[in-house]
Structure 1
């Protein structure tokens, strides 16, 4: 993994130090709150100075290329830079359930997951903790961490933050949600989501390209896109798939997820109060075929 080379050269430590300094005026994501997290101030995501981890361990419910035999070594971070009213992990993402970890402790979590045989380290909802992750990673890499790194995010990213991760992250796993900015604001509480999402996808693809797997079919590098199918076409699936085919590659790995169900505060919105129908799921797959996308789950 290239991040091991960056650790050896000192570049990884330099990036970590730069990122940590940025916590004094946090601009990690498009929210651009500008708060001093080093002084205990919190912004939209409510994350503080240290990374808060709710749980970690081998996960066998991720996409097949991430699971392999040993499972994906997931680290679930608390809080989120989105505020989705239908969040299925609201106790973690909204309420912040978890424990604050020092950089050394987070590094030990990564090493423990590798020791357990996990195929990768899967950072779940990591955007607001990039400085802490880089700091921990610089320690873990020096102690022998070598497995691929997965950035499992909500696709609401800043170009500057993603550039800090260039050569560090092996596999990007963005969960693309809405192509309509008004709906993103209504249901996820964020401005300019589609523009940020599409620019983030392009930068991720520039860094790692399309998905590459080893002889076992396990992911080693590349972009894997998730897209949650919403009832009533609310996610703007056609726009998302059209963009991926035209601006990235028809060979982009895409998981069209059909597991949406009303959760958290979804019952306050009648249009969100049901699962997508079988026909809606079939229509999404037909759209993928229409745009020539060849690697669709």
Structure 2
């Protein structure tokens, strides 16, 4: 979605390297993840013997093997032992942990609430889950702390995040998972990240009935969130999750709703087999180093100059290199300058004589700069490189006018390279050959142009608006309508009361009942979860980020998936840390890095702003101590308005005095916003019915500095 340069620069901080040394070594595949070591510790026994053992016997065996595991781990960390020197037992430690998790599920005590429900029989615990684990979504997350995105010798592939459903804390201000909309830059963005003032893709209705619907961009006027009963509507082009009264447009321009009388516009009853309008499916990708190199190649070879000139002096000739990049579009110039700087070539913008005018540009006659740019513009084979190349080449040479996107050029090698990229991205095109003018590449259909923009991310805004006023409409057939139950939902209000989400044309509800919740609660077993984990790592993820909701209620499936997982990757536990002591015993030997939340500094605030009923501070602090003894750690603290004295400062005090502050990092977060129940009934929680202000954030930062807490690299 966007480049995070701090994922590269953060590893230049020696304290970050020291405090996250184990995690970094596993991320770089220099050391095996702890769950991999678990597979090399155990007994030469048949695994089936576990079924015959009573739970106390299993725990006794567990604690004995835990001692062996920690000795092996310490030796591997010090470099005196390698994993290859350890034989794989028939009954490994990880299988034992998975069996214990299954036993605990019979009288569930994964979290501190210890509800004791037999989830194996289908009963639901406090978390709302039975036996099944449910994943709402999984993807490469680029919004996490910088060290968790890669870098430091690893590609910036993002954090391999798996969002589990449900939670055992139940804050009154939780944010729902995300659906995708398309911004006016043709970059797909999660609905949760959309801000008031953003422009998103929509359609305009013509005055005459027989005229086509046209694409347009509309401003977001307001954003809301609540909890409501929702349905999943499955279609041949994808799914959309909505409330019964929320309408979508069909191919005859009728609004369809599951409960038409409650719809904000005149609507027809939605049924299976009906045909609805569909535009373009939102797509996203990461602009990594290969993307930047590709963009620079397309931009510089298209609009730049790299040559040599000779100077005669005193009877001798001297050859100098000359790099010149002068363009009229400031967005184009700034992008090239930014990418060069991030890749080690910082250049200042200069005024350059260009014909009869002065333009801004980048110029250099230095050999080291010239050679570095030559190196950066060497072709690569990755898909990301071709995405960048096509974006840079289009910004340099392309245009979108009339009915087609064209990229002309006299260099057939560059055009061939562009054709190969389009083939790899699956975008149809035509190669046009002419005798008296430049050959060019043409993309004619509107949906193919939209895919080109979403799969390459060109940077010149004026070229991206060429699709406004075009009709890009196909159809999708409704295959199934499924009731999912009550879930968090998002609400947007736009200028024309219409916007496109997940490709469908949707109407704002007057009572803010627009609701989207992508793929909520997909059931996964250990085999599916292991496949997701392996795919994320093979696609470049720096870690497996187990989060939610809360991952703890899904512990039995998570441990079973690690038994199947044979890809080395750091395991990251992203949790509210309300795990029970037994759950922590299972976790400490498989988690490489902990990402715990420490929200509240006292139990009174915790009880009032969550479901309450537990010793929040005591539980979290005890688990943090145990976690720090068994892995690297980045603690998150969310600063809430009016809670600096009662929560932020006490939390920072406990981190500084109860934990080893010199072995961890702290992310002091200012992202709090009134959501969920607070947004709906602010009068019930007036103290947190606004965002934290700058003074509160500065006070939190200053207090952390006084305590000697290192927070700057990740906050």
Question: TM over 0.5: same fold?
Answer: yes
Match of 1:214 in 2: none
Displacement, 1:33? 0.3
Displacement, 1:295? 3.7
SS at match of 1:66: helix
Provide the rounded CA distance (Å) in 1 between the counterparts of 2:580 and 2:137.
Answer: 26
Displacement, 1:292? 1.3
SS at match of 1:33: coil
CA RMSD of aligned residues (A): 1.7
Runs of at least 5 residues in structure 1 that lack an aligned partner in the other structure: 209-221
Displacement, 1:156? 1.6
Provide the rounded CA distance (Å) in 1 between the counterparts of 2:487 and 2:564.
Answer: 29
Match of 1:126 in 2: 551
Match of 2:487 in 1: 95
Match of 1:81 in 2: 168
Runs of at least 5 residues in structure 2 that lack an aligned partner in the other structure: 1-32, 42-91, 151-155, 178-226, 228-483, 489-519
Match of 1:137 in 2: 562
Confirm or deny: 8 A CA contact 1:159 1:203 kept in the other structure: no
Alignment of 1:255 onto 2:680? no
Provide the rounded CA distance (Å) in 2 between the counterparts of 1:2 and 1:182.
Answer: 37
- Poorly superposed stretches of 4+, deviation over 6 Å: none
Q: 1:35 aligns with which of 94, 117, 120?
A: 117
Provide the rounded CA distance (Å) in 2 between the counterparts of 1:115 and 1:49.
Answer: 29
TM-score (norm 2): 0.38
Q: CA 1:261–1:70 in structure 2 vs 1: closer, same or farther (change >3 Å)? A: same
| Greater CA drift, 280-289 or 240-249 | 240-249
Alignment of 1:60 onto 2:142? yes
Displacement, 1:285? 0.4
TM-score (norm 1): 0.90
Alignment of 1:4 onto 2:49? no
Q: How does 1:60-209 map to 2 (within 5 A)?
A: 60-68=142-150, 69-89=156-176, 95=487, 97-124=520-547, 125-140=550-565, 144-190=566-612, 191-208=614-631
Alignment of 1:238 onto 2:654? no
Confirm or deny: 8 A CA contact 2:668 2:711 kept in the other structure: no
Displacement, 1:57? 1.0
SS at match of 2:703: helix
SS at match of 1:79: coil
Match of 1:290 in 2: 706
Provide the rounded CA distance (Å) in 2 between the counterparts of 1:202 and 1:5.
Answer: 22
Q: Residues 24-70 of structure 1, C-alpha deviation per residue, up to 9 Å, x if partnerless?
A: 00011111100000001112111121210000011110000001201
Alignment of 1:274 onto 2:685? no
**Aligned pair count?**
280
Provide the rounded CA distance (Å) in 2 between the counterparts of 1:120 and 1:76.
Answer: 14
Confirm or deny: 8 A CA contact 2:114 2:580 kept in the other structure: no
| Greater CA drift, 182-191 or 76-85 | 182-191
